[in-house]
Each structure stands twice: as C-alpha cells, then as structure tokens.
A and B are shown apart, each in its own frame.
Chain A
C-alpha cells in the first residue's frame, strides 16, 4: 500500500528500521546540534515529557498540529487566523516561521528575530521533530524531506520594485486592507520589510499559504509586480 504513494526506495526505508521516525528526523538535520539551538527558544517554550505552556505554547506534537490550537494558551489573532484557515505546522512552514516569524504570520506575538542560518533551523527542527509523531511518521502524509516554504531564487529577491507601479497595483489590495494599518478582521500590510512581503506573496502564489482570496490575488501577480507592491507598502507608515 505504501508503494502506491512512495517509490520502492522509500518503501525499503520505511520497512528497514524500527527507528524509522528517528531516521526521518535525522534527514531534517542534526538532532544534537538542534538541542543546542533550542536554547534560544527555552526562555519561552518547553518541549518533552511534562512540557507546559509558558510565555509561548509547549511544542510537543507541533508537527501536524493546526496552528493556534493548544487549549489554554492565549494566541495572537494572527496564529488563530492561520489555524482557522487550515494552516497546520509542517516542516516547510515551520522552517519559514523560524527564519522570520512575521513574514509568515504578520501579526504573531512571537518576538523572535529569526534564525538566519538554514542549518540551525534544520537542526532545531530535527530536535523538535523527536517530540512529534503523527502525521509526519506516516508515509502517506506530507513528505518529511527538507523543503523551504518557498525557495525563492536570489534573483527574485533582488528585483527592485517600482513603487509607482506598486501604488497602482495596491489599489486592488486597499479595498480590503486599510492603508492606515487598522485591523478590523483583515490584517494590516503596511511597513513590512520588503523581503518578508515578497516571500509571503510568493507563498500565496504557490498556494502554500491557505487563504483562497489571497491565493487568487497573488496567483496573477508577476515577480516584478510582487516586488513593486513590496516597495510601495514597505514605504507606508
């Protein structure tokens, strides 16, 4: 049955070892190095046996969990929103979140600048991965192979947006998103770092972020148009 979904090699791997979950975790990064990276997180987050919510929610079972859903923890509106829209934590979006929390969830309360180094993110995710089981252990579930939320080639991030064009394009956004930064049920999008804006829009364009209106709006924007919007909104205060 596994073979229906996976190649023979994956099938072999799945059957080869009782410690399969560990092996998958190893594929993500170095668990021991990740334990050290996790020291950045420990001020707010607990993980492992007996872990409880602190300043941040505990991280047991984070893989495969719907965002913003641990009972008894008071989440930001942003995480609750993403959860309602169906975002579950997977390797891709956890990686993006750790790289820059506000680029993925603009109004998260997690005040963490992000881990710039891909290896550090991989390692800490490998470490956290040990404390989650389903669905990542199941071959039919989302693949555990390492993947970025959106792998943007440097040339896309390097595009210099034309703010005048961005201002025109922005008129499509401002029917819903208020330019004074008010939040009334639809997030504010002004004054974002341009790279964050670009990554977020490409994540919608590729349907990695779940919102159907945003997938549709971003879906027809070219790389240049996304850069133009990022330049325009980035300049608003």
Chain B
C-alpha cells in the first residue's frame, strides 16, 4: 500500500485523478476518511495534525492543485528583496512520506453534501466522513470596475503568491525612472489586514534603492487600516514624501481602472500609472460557494470546532470563514486548524477533546530591520471566536527592539512552515 501511495503521488495530475478514487476507497476500508481541500496554512496543518495524532487510524487525503505552494506571508519580503522566491516555496513531499497523507494535486470541483463526496476536476469522486475546506480567498467579480482576473497580467493582484508575485516584482523593477506605482487597496474584510501596507513598505524599499524619484499612490476605500500609526510613522522615517494615500474622504472608494490604457480613475479624475497592483474585494474560495455553505461572501463556523454552521460534517478554516474576531491570516488559519483537527479526531475516533483556544500574531516589515507586530489571543463562545487579550508594537520603539521583532518574524516563518509541512 505504501508503495502504491508513493507511486501515486509521483504521477501527473491527470493520472493521479484517474487513480485516486479506487485507491482511496481501497486504502480506507473500515477507516474513517477525512478529505481536506486546500494545502495552505489551514489545510496543510489540519491534514498533518490529523494524520500525526490519529497514528494511522484516520485516512487523510489532501487536495491541492499546486505542487509547489508559495506562502502569501513573506511574499511581500520577496518583493522588497529580503527573500528569494524559492525560500517561500514548499512541496508536499513530507506530508506524504512522513505522515502517510494522500496528497492529490487536482482541483476540487464539486461537493455532494448528502452523499458526502468530493468530485475532482480529473473526474475522481472521493467519499468522506469529515470534509475540511481551507480554500483561502477568491476575488469578488466587478469589485474594481474595469478589472477582472483576465487583466491580472497587466495589473497583478499578487494576493496569491507565486507567479503573480514574480510578475509584480518584475514590473516594479522595469518601471520608468520617476514613474508611479498605484495600489488599489481592498475593502474589509480581506486576507492579511496589514498585507497591503507592508507591501507598500516593501515596494518603497525597492524603489528607494533603484528608482528614488518614483511615487507610490495608495487608493483606499477604508478610512483606516491595520497598524496605521506604525506604518505611517515608518513611511515618514524611511520614505519621506514617496507615499501618498487617498482615502474615502478624497474618493478612494470610487475607483475604476483601465488595464489597457494603464489608468486609474479616482472619483472621475484620471491618473496615468506605470505599475498598478489591484487588490479587489474578497470572498471565500469558490469551493465554499459550490458546497453551499456560505452566507454572503463567507462561510460561517462555530468557534468550538470550526464546523460549518450549515453542515456539521464540514469544517472550514482560515480566510474563507466568518468566525468572529480573528483576522484572516496564515497564523489564524494554522491556529484554527489545530482546533478543527482535535474536533475531527474526537468525532471520528473518540479521542479527547479540549476547549478551543486560538491565537494570532502578524509581523510586518517596514524597512530593513524595522519590524512591527500585532497579536491577540481568542476563545470560542457560542456566538463567535472572541478576542481575549492583545498587544501591538509602539511608535518610538528603539532600533534594537525593531530588529529583534524582525528576527522573531523570521523565526516564526521557519516555525509555522515546519508546523504546516512537517
């Protein structure tokens, strides 16, 4: 069986899909089956913890279209030149070889909640006892007039890491001297609240070195944003005069783009730009909609177990959820995955279940050795995941503490990625 599984993982996606249905049925004879859709901070962590802690009692299949997963967290550091892209890429080899997880590289295209099966693009049908959905985000159609995903090569979102990050960085490096970089920031709620502003910091860092007369324009529908005081203080100290932000009071919420003409229109005024990063409004990854577990754009869940409020056989993790007070972040998804893994094991094998606890910390880099962080702890109430306690970096901290905070974020990256991928 082990040999089969390895051979199975090594094959191409189409062959894998064709083989997967009979294989999974045979392998899981008599064992409870868990299917996890999405191999990011939520899904990879949940798959690993269920496989690890059930010690072979639960058959775990992880569905993830990409063979090399690029973490969204730290992708801004790649844009700023602080990381190589390869350093934020992770494969699923260990999850398969060390934890016995069936890793299937394919798209999930259907969920039959009555039959409790998942259909893959390759045609395979996988039965489950519990389904875990951790699909991340998709973009809301028409959120920024003039932009849709077919325009993502002209105006990249770079909000799913990998080729989009590479494209944005290449465009920035090729920007004419004294040119303008525009970012269309997203409305709440969205993945990684400080993310757009850390990105602006990293773009500024890159341009300051290569193109110091360039300008950065943030068009923002939100009146305020995460770690605003810390970012604005940092921008003043490091990039004085380079960054301008147009909030909703000056039409930041009335924006459209023309990717062919490379223009941004703000409340009727047309601006020519050289590079444009469009981060549209977000919604749960499409499989949640297909499964019919969304209310509005997101999937509501119980904080006690991360079970969908619509279907108790489905757990939803991370950015796709509407859970309460936690921000949409990789750290949050990883934290929620552990609660879900414990609940799933408890339900399927009778293992002990302890009260849910959650935490999150988001580090952001403003410039070399100038790191800041915000974090909180959370608990489950019947209504939601509720904040218990929190902290945030302070304006005016000394350089050593900021450097230490950055170094800590590097340590966290190593920690969470080994927690996800083994």
Instruction: Spell out A's residues near B (CB within 8 Å).
Output: 81, 84-86, 164-165, 167-169, 171-172, 174-180, 182-186, 212-213, 215-217, 219-220
Contact = CB atoms under 8 A, between A and B. Distances in A.
Q: Which of A182, A183, A216 has the most CB of B within 10 A?
A: A216
B415 A184 contact: yes
Contact of A177 (B377, B413, B415): B415
Given A165-B354, A168-B342, A172-B357, A186 B415 contact: yes
Contacts of A220: 357, 377, 388-389
Nearest to B413: A184
A175 B331 contact: yes
Interface in B400-421: 400-401, 403-404, 407-416, 418-419
Given A179-B418, A219-B377, 20 more contacts: A86-B401, A168-B338, A171-B49, A172-B359, A174-B419, A175-B334, A175-B335, A175-B359, A175-B416, A175-B419, A176-B412, A177-B415, A183-B411, A184-B410, A185-B407, A185-B408, A185-B409, A186-B412, A217-B377, A219-B389
Contacts of B408: 185-186
B401 A186 contact: no
Contacts of B375: 212-213, 216
Contacts of A180: 418
Interface residues of B, number: 36
Contact of A84 (B357, B404, B412, B418): B404
Question: Chain B interface secondary structure, helix, strand, loop or mixed?
Answer: helix
Question: Chain A interface secondary structure, helix, strand, loop or mixed?
Answer: loop
What are the 8 tightest A-B residue pairs by CB atom distance, in nearest-first order? A185-B411, A186-B411, A184-B414, A171-B338, A185-B407, A176-B415, A84-B404, A212-B391
A216 B404 contact: no
Contacts of B342: 168
Contacts, number: 87
Interface of B: 49, 53, 331, 334-335, 338, 342, 352, 354, 357, 359, 361, 373, 375-377, 388-391, 400-401, 403-404, 407-416, 418-419
Contacts of A165: 352, 354
A172 to B, nearest CB: 6
Nearest to B394: A212
B400 A176 contact: no
B400 A84 contact: yes
B4 to A, nearest CB: 29
14 contacts: A81-B404, A168-B338, A168-B354, A171-B49, A172-B335, A172-B359, A175-B419, A178-B414, A178-B415, A179-B418, A185-B410, A185-B411, A219-B389, A220-B389
